[in-house]
């Protein structure tokens, strides 16, 4: 699997997105989700053209499109994503905001009110999210893991992390 993903990450990403979003999100495996996240976070290909192709042509059902957009919307927000890529992904997701339903289901409203549904999933009209699987995925967005990928990441953008920012401010005040 590892070598395959390297050779054709874009084709692989599209296929993975189709697989993960085909059924309900709660059925998506943590492994598949982690692979999708790693490709979105660290892949060097033009993901937006793949995403555009998937959402406009390959994913036929509206709910599958919504699941895909929710995943991209959620994953693009992590600090390991380089700023430029995050901005491009944000623009992509925004371009499909017409798929966010005007009215949400009573069940979704109830779930979000009781903190059992991610607000982003709710916005995309879903009644489920990937929060249970995210525990497995989070290890791949750490600064330490990102450093092993040999690519530019959000951590190498030159933007200090909030913690580094704070320690600098403290040092500056001490002077």
Domain membership of residue 117 (yes or no) is no
Domain membership of residue 161 (yes or no) is yes
Q: Which tens digit of pLDDT belongs to each residue from 67-84?
A: 999 999 999 999 999 999
Domain membership of residue 33 (yes or no) is yes
Phi, psi of 102 (to 5 degrees): -70, -35
Domain membership of residue 27 (yes or no) is yes
Quick check: pTM over 0.75?
Answer: yes
Number of separate domains in the chain:
1
Domain membership of residue 157 (yes or no) is yes
Residue 91 belongs to domain spanning: 2-100+129-174
Domain membership of residue 110 (yes or no) is no
Contacts of residue 120, defined as CB under 8 A and 6 or more positions apart, other chains included, come to 70, 73, 74, 129
Q: Which tens digit of pLDDT belongs to each residue from 133-155?
A: 999 999 999 999 999 999 999 99
How many whole angstroms separate alpha carbon 168 and alpha carbon 145? 24
| DSSP3 helix / strand / coil % (the chain, rounded to 5) | 70, 0, 30
């Amino acid at each position: 699997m590892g070598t395959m993903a390297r050779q054709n990450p874009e084709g692989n990403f599209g296929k993975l997105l189709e697989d993960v979003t085909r059924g309900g999100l709660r059925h998506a495996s943590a492994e598949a989700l982690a692979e999708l996240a790693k490709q979105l976070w660290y892949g060097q290909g033009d993901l937006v053209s793949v995403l555009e192709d998937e959402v406009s042509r390959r994913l036929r059902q509206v709910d599958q499109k919504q699941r895909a957009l929710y995943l991209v919307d959620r994953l693009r927000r992590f600090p390991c994503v380089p700023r430029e890529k995050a901005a491009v992904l944000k623009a992509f997701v925004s371009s499909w905001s017409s798929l966010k339903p005007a009215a949400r289901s009573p069940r979704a409203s109830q779930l979000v009110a009781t903190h059992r549904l991610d607000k982003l999933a709710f916005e995309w009209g879903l009644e489920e999210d990937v929060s249970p699987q995210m525990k497995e995925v989070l290890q791949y967005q750490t600064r330490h893991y990102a450093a092993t990928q040999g690519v530019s990441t959000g951590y190498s953008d030159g933007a200090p992390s909030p913690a580094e920012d704070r320690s600098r401010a403290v040092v500056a005040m001490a002077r």
